[in-house]
Structure 1
Amino acid sequence: MTSLCRNLVALLFFVLPPMHSHFFTNAASASPPITHPQIIHMTDMGSDRQDDYDSEEEYDTTKAPPRVVKVPKMHQKPQLCKYDACSENQVPCATLFEQTGCLCPGMSGANVPPHPPRIRALVPVSEGSDRGKIQVQWCAPSSVVSEYRIVIEGRDGEVPKFGDASRRGLVRSLEVGTKVCVVAVNNAGSSDPSEFSCKRYEFHESSDHTLMAWIIGGGVTLLLLVVIAALICVKYKKFRKGKRDSTDGLTKAASMTHGGGHKRTQNNN
């Protein structure tokens, strides 16, 4: 009995190791392979770079697909458009944006009444065919504008109109203290007058007028000096003549007196 048990143990010792290894081999082959996804960093460099990756490496279809992480491309800081709201007949800022991609100032739409423009100056015209008129200068608002109007205090029936690209306009001569306002207009309405869209006319003499005034004043002063000097000379001559006449009279009187006394002396002798 003891020998039979030993034989059974020996038989199990030779049979069980091959079965154990075969079991674990089948279990290992049934489990899927452990793979790590490949990460590829890409930028906005076009499709040529992706083709290079495809040509350089052929991916194994049994592996997990690579995870693509798109890195945003760094852009330069946008620049403001070279647009001056006070310059006349310039390229619209919207056109500059389409051409260069620059940034325009914020503007209200055509369906909203425009903001009031800013009046710059009221300059009298001193030369040319427009001499005597007043040039009104203004800056455009940050709004869509179809035309500009100049409203003058005390002239209700006269409202000069100018195009949307205009930044100046001529009006008839103004009295000092007259209020002038520039109004922006579009399809939605017109701007309201404000403290910076209106200005009172104050006449300031130009340098030419000042120079002419100095010349005239100097000429008048010189003429007065000449007249005063002439009067002084005349009075002085009269004074000299009167003094000379007085001296001559005294001399004649003295000589006559001396001659009479001499004759009396001779008669007495």
Structure 2
Amino acid sequence: HVSLNLTVLLLFLIAALLPSSHLFTHAASASPPVTRPRINYTSLDDYEDEVFVKKTTPVRSGPPQLCKFDSCSENQEPCDVLEAKHGCLCPGVSRANVPPHAPRIQALLPINAGADSGKLEIQWCAPSSVVSGYRVVIEGSEGDAFEFRDAARRGVIRTVEVGTKVCVEAVNNAGSSTPSAFSCMRFDHSESSDHKILAGVIGGGVTLLLILIIVAVILWKYTTNKKAKGDSTDGLGNPTYSTEGTL
């Protein structure tokens, strides 16, 4: 009877130990395998390429500066070329697949000398966009536009009547800019400012000369009259007066 009890107790202990042994075996099998860190080898060519890139990239000392690029000056180096050379910053430029922003018109001046005398010169500033060319449109003749290259900032067009609106448009493969208040200007004078200044100087000189002539005439008359009065007073002496007399 005692041996039966020992046998039952032994079976109970074996049954209790079997699940924990199974879990231990599963945990041991589920643990991740030990891996060694992978070593990356860099070739000599890759190292030389990296050194070459570092040497050719401009080194900026201090905060970045804006590139010396004037959007109103023509025939200058593109801003992206200046950025690659000097490590400066260019203003943001819209993409080539969208129409450009409108340029800014500066002046509309008559030409009074040379082969283009009688025509007009238009001046403008480039927008912050990719531009392939410019087109100048005159009010009332939109179908007859003047074409200019992308590096141009001025051009010669025909003369127009006073009050006529002239617009300059930027063009690329995606289209053209929309006219705005700062891309259009009305021709409001029929003669150049230089001619007006010259006419004013001539008019002022003539007026000053006339004033000097008038003053000279007045002074001459005054001097002549004074001399005439003096001569007449000297000639009218008292005939009865004598320095010889009796006491």
What TM-score bracket applies, with the shorter chain setting the length? 0.5 to 0.7
The one of 64, 73, 77 aligned to 1:91: 77
Deviation string, structure 1 residues 195-239 (Cα, Å, up to 9, x no partner)? 0000101115423344247647949x97xx9xxxxxxxxxxxxxx
Task: Give the gaps of 5 or more residues in structure 1.
Answer: 1-73, 226-269
Which residue number corresponds to residue 186 of structure 2?
200
User: Is residue 136 of structure 2 the alignment partner of residue 136 of structure 1?
Assistant: no
- Cα distance in 1 for partners of 2:144, 2:84 equals 39
- Cα distance in 2 for partners of 1:210, 1:79 equals 42
- Cα distance in 2 for partners of 1:142, 1:115 equals 7
Pairing of 1:112-151 with structure 2 (within 5 A) = 112-151=98-137
Pairing of 1:54-133 with structure 2 (within 5 A) = 76-133=62-119
User: Is residue 138 of structure 2 the alignment partner of residue 163 of structure 1?
Assistant: no
Residue 183 of structure 1: CA displacement? 0.3
TM-score (normalizing by structure 2): 0.56
For CA contacts below 8 A with separation 6 or more, give which structure has more relative contact order.
2
- 8 A contact 2:72–2:126 mirrored in 1: yes
Name whichever of 81-90 and 148-157 sits farther off.
148-157
- Cα distance in 2 for partners of 1:88, 1:177 equals 28
Structure label with greater radius of gyration: 1
Residue 172 of structure 1: CA displacement? 0.6
**Given the superposition, is the C-alpha separation of residues 79 and 210 from structure 1 closer, same or farther in structure 2, using an over 3 Å criterion?**
closer
User: Counterpart of 1:191 in structure 2: which amino acid?
Assistant: S
TM-score (normalizing by structure 1): 0.51
Pairing of 1:206-245 with structure 2 (within 5 A) = 206-212=193-199, 215=202, 218=206
User: Counterpart of 1:149 in structure 2: which amino acid?
Assistant: R
- Cα distance in 1 for partners of 2:200, 2:144 equals 35
Which residue number corresponds to residue 163 of structure 2?
177
Matched position secondary structure for 1:84: coil
- Cα distance in 2 for partners of 1:205, 1:105 equals 35
Task: Give the gaps of 5 or more residues in structure 2.
Answer: 1-59, 214-247
Matched position secondary structure for 1:157: strand
Deviation string, structure 1 residues 176-206 (Cα, Å, up to 9, x no partner)? 1000000000011110000000010111542
- Cα distance in 1 for partners of 2:87, 2:134 equals 29
Residue 101 of structure 1: CA displacement? 1.2
Residue 75 of structure 1: CA displacement? 5.4
Alignment size in residue pairs:
151
- Cα distance in 1 for partners of 2:61, 2:146 equals 48
Matched position secondary structure for 1:158: strand
- Cα distance in 1 for partners of 2:187, 2:132 equals 26
